[in-house]
Structures are given as structure tokens and as C-alpha cells.
Amino acid sequence: MSLPVAPTTMLRWPAEELWEALQPLCPGLSVEVATEVDSTSSRLLERARAGDASPCLLVAERQTAGRGRLGRSWEASPGASLTFSLALPLAPRAWSGLSLVAGVALAEALHERVRLKWPNDLWLVDGAGQGRKLGGILIETAQAAGGPRVAVVGVGLNIRQEAIAGETTSRASLDELESGAQAPATLLRIAAPLLRVLQAFEREGFAPWMARYAARDALAGRSIRLLQHQGGSSEGQALGVDEQGALLVQTAAGLQTITSAEVSVRPC
């Protein structure tokens, strides 16, 4: 079932077209458009924990408490960004690599210059390989009471430039690639590819995606700094990812395999 667009939204969201594109891939999926929520991901996680494991795409024009990885906040203004989450009951053999395949789907659906910074950032790169953050992916799961585990894939994508209080680094935005880019049309373009890769990941895991990830890997071959969130850092050269999607880094102490969610990676 597709819910109608809330009458007070600023933008015209193609809820019916989204539902028509997604429902054949995932029968029973609903599409919901909200003017304002705390966080699209928080809403879908709450529903799953309350026992509703039905697949759902929830897009919001404004989030009052948008969340990023590692407990960070995700700030965005209506129209200047696309913020949505996709909830899907999933039972993969292993969960590692899920944010990487989601990134591959989004990058491929967006533009050749969109690359991936392990594990969950979408970057817009220039001709010299320098990147700025275009968007981010937040993967969370919840156990539906008496039902399956539900993956909630939250996506935030900068559509237009906007000044964020306290933010010093410059963000990239999709309108640098496509003048007049709009959040609703962008969602329509990326939703089905995203859903398809999540379903393929459930069947096949990350390994079949290694080559496509490598083609979008913004870090491969670069010197990087690994920042532990408890403090401390080390440097090395990024060498791509393994079959589980873990980051391979050549350091002075040898080859390290980075799986920890408690590590941030920065190019040096």
C-alpha cells in the first residue's frame, strides 16, 4: 500500500511512482512521506521492535534528530538534502559488507564521479582524486518481536549547498553534478537499485560485489590515518577490502584488517 503524500510537504514526492517501482521487487512494501520526523531510521527501528517487520521506505523532508554513524548527528534542511530510510526484513549469512553494497548501488545510480569512502560515506571526487562528502549511509538492525531481523538502511544525500552551523569542512552536493537536482527525482532514481542490491546481498553476501566496490573505492592506494574512538591513531596505505568488506591497510606493523565500527578513516 502506498500512503498519500502529506499535504504540507514543500516538495512533490512521487510516492505512487516509487511504490510502482519497488512493490514488484518486494511485495508488501509501503512508501511513506513525512513532512517532519525525528529520524526516519529511528521511526522504522521503533516499528520493527514493536513487531512490525513489513518492508517500508520512509522519506522525510525534515528530520529533527537525524543520526549519523558513531553517534554523530546528521543535519540537513528541507529541500537541500534527501533523507530516507528503507526497512527490510533480511536474513543474510553475515552482515558485514552491507553498507558497502548499499554504497555501490547508490554510487552507480548517481554518477561516475561518486566514490565510496569505507565504510559508509559517499564522496564526490574531482579529477585529482580529492573527495568531499556527498552523503552517508547508516545501517542498523532491529529484531522484530516474534519475527525476523529487520535491516534499516538510512541514507542522507546533499542535494544543494547549505551552510551548517559549526561545520567547517565543505560538503559536496549533487547539484554540482546536475544543475537543478531535486530530492524527489533523486529518490526515484536510487530507490530500486538500492532495494535490489540489498536483496542480492541477502542471497550472496558481499564477495560478488568486490569488483564493483573496487571500481568506486576512493581510498585504494592512498595513505590514510585510522582514528580509534577511544583515542590513538595509526597510519598506513589502504589496499582495498577483503571478501567480508573489511578494510585492508598496510602499516609499519604489517597488514591490518579493519572491521571495527569504532574506527574513523581519513586520507592523509
According to CB under 6 A, which one of 138, 142, 224, 263 is a site residue for ligand BTN?
138
Would residue 117 show up in a list of annotated catalytic residues for this protein? no
Instruction: Select from 14-22, 136-144, 200-208, 228-236 the region that touches ligand BTN (CB under 6 A).
Output: 136-144
69 included as an active-site residue: yes
Q: What binding mask, one character per residue, do residues 25-64 give for ligand BTN by CB under 6 A, x or -?
A: --------------xxx---------------------x-
Residue 260 CB contacts under 8 Å (≥ 6 apart), including other chains:
none
| Positions 159 through 188 that interact with ligand BTN (CB under 6 A) | none
Q: Of 150, 95, 131, 135, which Cα lies nearest the Cα of 217?
A: 131
User: Cell numbers 503524500 label which residue?
Assistant: 5
Give me the half-sphere count of Cα atoms (radius 13 Å) on the Cβ side of residue 109. Answer: 20
Q: Sort 159 into a burial class: Cβ within 10 Å, 0-12 / 13-18 / 19+.
A: buried
Residue 23 CB, shortest distance to ligand BTN, in Å, is: 22
Q: Least CB distance from residue 250 to ligand BTN, whole Å?
A: 26
Q: Which stretch binds ligand BTN (CB under 6 A): 69-77, 175-183, 207-215, 245-253?
A: 69-77
- C-alpha distances out from residue 168 to 1, 118, 220, Å: 42, 22, 26
258, 268 in Cβ contact below 8 A? no
Residue of 14, 119, 156, 184 that binds ligand BTN (CB under 6 A): 156
Question: Nearest distance from residue 139's CB to ligand BTN, in Å?
Answer: 9
Piece of 132-140, 183-191, 243-251, 257-265 that binds ligand BTN (CB under 6 A): 132-140
* Burial letters 40-49, b for 16+ CB under 10 A, else e: bbbbbbebbe
Q: How many CB atoms lie within 10 A of CB 252?
A: 7
Does residue 9 belong to the site contacting ligand BTN (CB under 6 A)? no
Grid-cell match 537499485, residue found? 193
Interface with ligand BTN, residue 158, by CB under 6 A: no
Question: Could you say which of 133, 196, 212, 222 is catalytic?
Answer: 133
Nearer to ligand BTN, 60 or 246 (CB): 60
* Whether the bond into 119 is cis, omega within 30 of 0: yes
Q: Which of 212, 210, 260, 211 is nearest to 234 (CA)?
A: 260
Nearer residue to ligand BTN within complex by CB, 67 or 217: 67
Of 19, 74, 123, 209, the one binding ligand BTN (CB under 6 A) is 74
Q: Exactly one of 43, 47, 67, 69 is catalytic; which is it? A: 69
What is the number of the residue whose Cβ is closest to ligand BTN? 136
Query: Among all residues, which ones are annotated catalytic?
Result: 69, 133, 266
